[in-house]
């Protein structure tokens, strides 16, 4: 009970810090003219969002980092509140945030204005960082490779674990990125997913990891204060890539990563919709399964309002998260 209470307290502090510094941060982005460039292949309704401040991921990254560092500093004096294991997901968060920030900057001010970093370059950087993180999980933290719900003994996947872990990290860094196309959607989905894995971590006795997850939940709630429709800023690749990669690492650290596609069912669906669309388009010489992908754009094209999509997707995400949570502890 004490661990859960402290996790909620950390989440509340994270929320307040994000809200307090959010307004000056938005004003700073506007002053620096760091505005989003809208691509021509999105629904026409999105053109009104042109020049809305982006790279807003720093709004929640900084409070999460600040709280984590403070709690680690406290642990140096004998009261371990977070633990050194949190340095791995924190490093993941910043590694992918920097890749995303370069991508955002290239799209705003670089030679590829409106497009961002070249896809192959970004993918290569993501893979390199993911492999380093996967190695740290396997060889430094020595986490269980896979915890099957009905077994008390962790499954050892050997060196195949590196490929699996790196795949999940890269896949979900891009899955959350694809989800971040409508005001408030990626933030609300991420709150549900991190909250679920925070509960799993606390139930496993990984109190440091659980508190870290709830710290992110609080910061994302603060971010949504400014990102709900009409959004005052967007998280950009800076935030979305960082969130997706960190979520995958948290799932890997619990050993319950097998349930990540269900717990993060909306990002999974967004990612799969793009894969289906591309494969079908190439196989049929230009035909499409969906009107537009990621799939939230399909629902925009058939007449759903943004608020309808966000709320309905969030409800589906909650159901998926609850099912994943229950299945993770089947005995």
pLDDT in tens, 214-230: 999 999 999 999 998 88
Cα–chain center distance at 330:
26
Q: What's the DSSP call for residue 199?
A: H
137 token code pair: 């999980």
- Is 269 a domain residue? no
- Please, are residues 244 and 119 in contact by the beta-carbon 8 Å criterion? no
3-state secondary structure of 70: helix
Measured torsion, CA atoms of residues 292, 297, 302, 305, in degrees rounded to the nearest 10 = -170
Better pLDDT: 112 or 173: 173
Count of domains observed in the chain: 1
Q: Which pLDDT tens digit goes with each residue over 120-144? A: 999 999 999 999 999 999 998 888 8
319 assigned to some structural domain: no
Q: Which 3 state secondary structure label does DSSP give 35?
A: strand
| Per-residue model confidence (pLDDT) at position 76 | 47
In degrees, to the nearest 5, what angle opens at C-alpha 44 toward C-alphas 40 and 45? 130
Instruction: Please state, in angstroms and rounded to a whole number, the distance separating the CA atoms of residues 221 and 250.
Output: 19
pLDDT band at 114 (very low <50, low <70, confident <90, very high): low
Residue 128, domain extent: 2-258
pLDDT digits (tens, 9 = 90+) for 295-315: 999 999 999 999 999 999 999
Q: For residue 86, is it within any domain?
A: yes
Show the tokens assigned to 110: 């670089």
For residue 298, tell me if it sits in a domain: no
Nearest-CA neighbor of 235 among 300, 286, 191? Answer: 191
pLDDT-derived band of residue 36, with 50, 70 and 90 as boundaries? low
| Angstrom distance (rounded) from CA 155 to CA 66 | 35
């Amino acid at each position: 009970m004490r661990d859960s209470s402290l996790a909620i307290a950390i989440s509340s502090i994270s929320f307040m810090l994000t809200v307090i510094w959010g307004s000056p941060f938005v004003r700073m982005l506007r002053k620096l003219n760091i505005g989003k460039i809208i691509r021509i292949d999105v629904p026409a309704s999105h053109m009104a969002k042109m020049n809305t401040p982006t790279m807003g991921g720093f709004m929640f990254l900084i409070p999460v980092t600040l709280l984590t560092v403070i709690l680690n500093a406290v642990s140096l004096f004998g009261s371990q509140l977070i633990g050194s294991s949190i340095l791995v997901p924190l490093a993941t968060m910043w590694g992918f945030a920097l890749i995303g920030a370069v991508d955002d900057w290239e799209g705003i001010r670089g030679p590829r204005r409106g497009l961002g970093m070249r896809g192959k370059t970004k993918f290569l950087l993501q893979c390199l960082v993911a492999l380093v993180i996967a190695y740290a999980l396997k060889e430094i933290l020595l986490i269980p490779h896979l915890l099957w719900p009905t077994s008390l003994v962790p499954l050892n996947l050997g060196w195949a674990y590196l490929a699996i872990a790196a795949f999940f990290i890269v896949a979900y860094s891009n899955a959350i990125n694809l989800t971040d196309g409508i005001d408030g959607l990626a933030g609300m989905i991420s709150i549900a997913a991190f909250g679920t894995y925070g509960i799993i971590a606390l139930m496993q006795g990984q109190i440091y990891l659980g508190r870290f997850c709830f710290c992110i939940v609080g910061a994302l709630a603060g971010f949504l204060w400014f990102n709900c429709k009409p959004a005052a800023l967007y998280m950009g690749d800076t935030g979305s890539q960082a969130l997706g990669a960190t979520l995958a690492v948290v799932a890997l650290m619990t050993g319950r990563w097998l349930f990540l596609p269900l717990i993060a069912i909306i990002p999974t669906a967004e990612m799969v919709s793009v894969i289906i669309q591309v494969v079908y388009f190439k196989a049929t010489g230009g035909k499409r399964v969906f009107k537009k992908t990621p799939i939230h754009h399909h629902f925009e094209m058939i007449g759903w309002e943004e608020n309808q999509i966000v709320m309905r997707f969030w409800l589906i995400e909650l159901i998926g998260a609850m099912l994943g949570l229950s299945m993770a502890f089947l005995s």
